[in-house]
Structure 1
Amino acid sequence: MAKIMALDYGLKRVGIAATDDLQIIASAIGTQPTAHIWEFLKTYLAQNQIEAVVLGDPKNLDGSATDATAPTEAFANEFRKRYPEIELHRMNEVFTSRIARQTMVSGGMKKKQRQQKGMVDQISATIILQDFLSRRSNGLF
Structure 2
Amino acid sequence: MNDKELLEKTLHVAREAGLFLLRKHGSVLPFGLTLDPAGDNPRTYFPRDQLPGAAWEELIEATLAHLQQCIDSGDIGAIALVTTLESGSESGMGIQVETRTSSLFLVYPYTGTGQSQSLGEPQTAQGLLFGPLLAV
Return the TM-score normalized by structure 2: 0.34
Identify which of structures 1 and 2 has the higher relative contact order when contacts are C-alpha pairs closer than 8 Å and 6+ apart. Answer: 1
Higher strand share: 2
Higher helix share: 1
